[in-house]
Structure 1
Amino acid sequence: MKKICFFVGNLNQAGGTERVSSVIASELQLRGYQIHMLSLQCGDKPFFELADGIEVNQLFTTAVRGMLRLPLAIFKLRSYLQQHQIDILIDVESMLALYALPAVMGLKMHHICWEHFNYNVDLGKTSRRLARKLAARFADDVVTLTERDKQLWLSNATCKANITAIPNPVTISLPAEINPHKEKLFLAVGRLSYQKGFDLLLQAWAQVVSLHPDWRLRIVGDGEDKTMLEQLRRELNIEVSTELAPKTNNIAAHYQQAAFFVLSSRFEGLPLVLIEAQAYGLPIVSFDCDTGPAEIIKNEESGWLCEAGNVADLADKIRNAVNCFNDEVTYKSFSKYSNENRNEFSVDAIIEKWSDLL
């Protein structure tokens, strides 16, 4: 069976990219592939569990800004691929193509670039924009998380690579049963950062709670915007009906308690929290941001999509959700559609897509 090397930034980290790549790699190992997990730096103590037999290595033992040692990293990566006779190299994040493309030059090796954001999001790095353009032209395949992002790649880059959309799977343990006694609670989960748009959510909530004072909003997460968000709660006079809860390893308890999930992100790649929320039967209110929500939520069936960044529209759709909850038959219908949609994102379904590509 083929030898596959997943080239990651740092497998010791606990982010969503590391979690998903660990799950995909482990499932492929169990299906007979020989998997290597190679970190650019550190990665000697993977945060997430890996299947037995996976080889874990690192190019550098210390963390340094990557571009400062680009030539040496390219040399070490090429040497590793040759030494271990790797058949397929998968860059876990498009930035890593800057190392991988020159490293595989002239080698008989299939090269896949796996995008974890979307084409329009560069997080302020011109090097990421360059990496994407080079990957589109010189890699064999580019894997995006959504069909919308696939179209962004095709429209904005010269694509000689095959562009394939494969969503991430839901990676949390699925509930044996869903709590039928939901509280009047909207749940939001994520890092307290500009990307997640919780400032927009609080502004929308201020327009809702005056009409529905018996409902609450809970935001679960930590991050650099916490102080700003606490101040905004005070300014909007919504401290009684809102709370900022710390991140937790038991997010399932929140999913079981809440009646709805709400996503206010300014941008996404593929928001796994939406898939997790659906697994617990939560209808979703979400901005139709790039990219992901429109491919997870069936509008007016499993949730509501609203114009990206439009606070008034978000408030209006939250009010729609409250009215839905007041009609037991309608709410159960939304919850059922939401729960059934999770099957499209099961690990088995996603691994089949990866197996077809490989």
Structure 2
Amino acid sequence: MRLAILIHDYTAMGGTERVTLQLCNQLAKHHTITLISVQQTGKEPAFILSDNVQIKFLGDDAANMLKTLPQKVYVLRKILGEIKPNAVIASDSQMALLSLPATIGKRYQKIVWEHFNSQIETRFGSRWFARRLAARFAHTIVVLTQQDKREWEKKYHCKASVVVHANPCALPLPLLNPYRDAHVVLSAGRYTEQKGFDLLVKAWKCLSSEMRQGWVLRIVGPNGSAKTELLAAAKDDESIRIEGPSSNMKKCYLDAGIFVCSSRYEGFGLTIVEAMTHGVPVIAFDCPMGPAEIIKEEYGKVVELANISALSRELASMIGSKSNRQYYSERSFERASHFTPEITIGRWESLLEVCADKEVKIP
């Protein structure tokens, strides 16, 4: 098949970019893939991209997308006319603002891949409009969790079919559990309010000094609006390390004894899967949407959203018991096998085969 995948900026360093490029690499083994980037802010992509994937751009400016929307739709429609793809995948629901107008009157299968939480949107913002456009005019909406599928169907009254495809882990699953039981509590993500690192630091400080002795709380990730406040909260506490992004997340997970997802909300929770791939026991807030579906209680510990005391108690329980950590390490590693690229690409291949077989009616 010939497939066109639209993304905002293929050089950006984020979860959407990582899984999109990973999907491109996997699909390019059997199909002709064109990755179309609205813009390019970096010289090279932050993640590996196969030489078999062709790159196209809608422009070289970083202007507000809405201001240049007609022009970009025109350029995208022209590119799609040259490619003549069987399907157009908009990676991020916002991209539907471009992909759906650009495919009017064409026999392309229109797929919108949602990476975020459908409960989070600004009324009358670009994502607000894009999701409603996708629900009405796309053929298929791909979401990451069952909870989000229910939300889409209820909230947007979808004419499109809504399917669940969990994200794959970009890090390979080892043959044996590599867990080292290092005395490090790890958390990772951009320093924003969403990630709830402020809640994690408060929960950490609720632990007694005896409990924390010999242990370190380590947070890694790209800069964000909440970092300054977090640095202030961690000041003069040698047991807390606030670090920048890591170029070797595999080593971060191998050097961890416990992983915490303290997010107020998620689109999925890919860092949880990455931690599980390295056998790291996981504690997470029961936030919308994703973490609880990944952990399912039996593969880790889920605590009430934003309940600092509950999070602190679970940390104390895990820190205080090596056998507890070892048990949840084995369960964590077992769960990771459900999120390998081989499994997730199989779901995408099945979806695309169905799309290829469908007789598409021109709107």
Shift of residue 302 of structure 1?
2.3
Shift of residue 324 of structure 1?
3.6
Aligned to 1:37: 35
Any conservation in 2 of the 1:145–1:168 contact (CA below 8 Å)? yes
Aligned counterparts of 2:146 and 2:158: Cα–Cα separation in 1: 15
Question: Which ranges in structure 1 are unaligned for 5 or more consecutive residues?
Answer: none
Aligned to 1:231: 232
| TM-score in terms of structure 2 length | 0.91
Any conservation in 2 of the 1:5–1:36 contact (CA below 8 Å)? yes
SS in 1 for 2:223: coil
Are the structure 2 counterparts of residues 222 and 82 from structure 1 closer, same or farther at C-alpha, using a change threshold of 3 Å? closer
Are the structure 2 counterparts of residues 348 and 180 from structure 1 closer, same or farther at C-alpha, using a change threshold of 3 Å? closer
Q: Cα deviations across residues 134-182 of structure 1 (Å, max 9, x unaligned)?
A: 1011100000011111111011112000000101100024446545542
Are the structure 2 counterparts of residues 104 and 311 from structure 1 closer, same or farther at C-alpha, using a change threshold of 3 Å? same
Say which of 261, 283, 289 aligns to 2:259: 261
Aligned to 2:361: none
Aligned to 1:202: 201
SS in 2 for 1:212: helix
Shift of residue 113 of structure 1?
0.4
SS in 1 for 2:242: strand
Say which of 279, 282, 289 aligns to 1:281: 279
Aligned counterparts of 2:165 and 2:74: Cα–Cα separation in 1: 30
For these two proteins, the number of residue pairs brought into alignment is: 349
CA RMSD of aligned residues (A): 1.8
- Does residue 305 (structure 1) correspond to residue 316 (structure 2)? The answer is no
Are the structure 2 counterparts of residues 222 and 28 from structure 1 closer, same or farther at C-alpha, using a change threshold of 3 Å? closer
Are the structure 2 counterparts of residues 322 and 295 from structure 1 closer, same or farther at C-alpha, using a change threshold of 3 Å? same
SS in 1 for 2:74: helix
Are the structure 2 counterparts of residues 123 and 314 from structure 1 closer, same or farther at C-alpha, using a change threshold of 3 Å? farther
Alignment of 1:150-189 (within 5 A): 150-175=149-174, 177-179=176-178, 181-189=180-188
Any conservation in 2 of the 1:178–1:256 contact (CA below 8 Å)? no
Any conservation in 2 of the 1:38–1:56 contact (CA below 8 Å)? yes
Shift of residue 274 of structure 1?
0.5
Say which of 329, 345, 349 aligns to 2:343: 349
Aligned counterparts of 2:132 and 2:79: Cα–Cα separation in 1: 25
Aligned counterparts of 1:173 and 1:288: Cα–Cα separation in 2: 27
Shift of residue 228 of structure 1?
0.9
SS in 2 for 1:5: strand
Are the structure 2 counterparts of residues 20 and 308 from structure 1 closer, same or farther at C-alpha, using a change threshold of 3 Å? same
> Which range moved further: 314-323 or 103-112?
314-323
Are the structure 2 counterparts of residues 125 and 245 from structure 1 closer, same or farther at C-alpha, using a change threshold of 3 Å? farther
SS in 1 for 2:334: helix
Aligned to 2:49: 50
Question: Which ranges in structure 2 are unaligned for 5 or more consecutive residues?
Answer: 353-363
Alignment of 1:1-358 (within 5 A): 2-30=1-29, 32-42=30-40, 45-122=44-121, 126-175=125-174, 177-179=176-178, 181-210=180-209, 212-214=211-213, 215-224=215-224, 225-234=226-235, 239-299=237-297, 301-325=298-322, 328=323, 330-358=324-352
SS in 2 for 1:116: coil
Q: Cα deviations across residues 176-200 of structure 1 (Å, max 9, x unaligned)?
A: 6545542222111111111111111
Are the structure 2 counterparts of residues 181 and 50 from structure 1 closer, same or farther at C-alpha, using a change threshold of 3 Å? closer
Q: Cα deviations across residues 320-350 of structure 1 (Å, max 9, x unaligned)?
A: 222443xx2x432211110011111000000
Q: Cα deviations across residues 293-316 of structure 1 (Å, max 9, x unaligned)?
A: 0121131x3211011112122112
| TM-score in terms of structure 1 length | 0.92
Aligned counterparts of 1:255 and 1:45: Cα–Cα separation in 2: 26
Any conservation in 1 of the 2:177–2:330 contact (CA below 8 Å)? no
Are the structure 2 counterparts of residues 213 and 53 from structure 1 closer, same or farther at C-alpha, using a change threshold of 3 Å? closer
> Which range moved further: 84-93 or 41-50?
41-50
SS in 2 for 1:113: strand
Are the structure 2 counterparts of residues 180 and 116 from structure 1 closer, same or farther at C-alpha, using a change threshold of 3 Å? closer
Shift of residue 123 of structure 1?
6.2
Aligned counterparts of 1:212 and 1:123: Cα–Cα separation in 2: 42
SS in 1 for 2:280: coil
Any conservation in 1 of the 2:173–2:337 contact (CA below 8 Å)? no
Aligned counterparts of 2:234 and 2:180: Cα–Cα separation in 1: 28
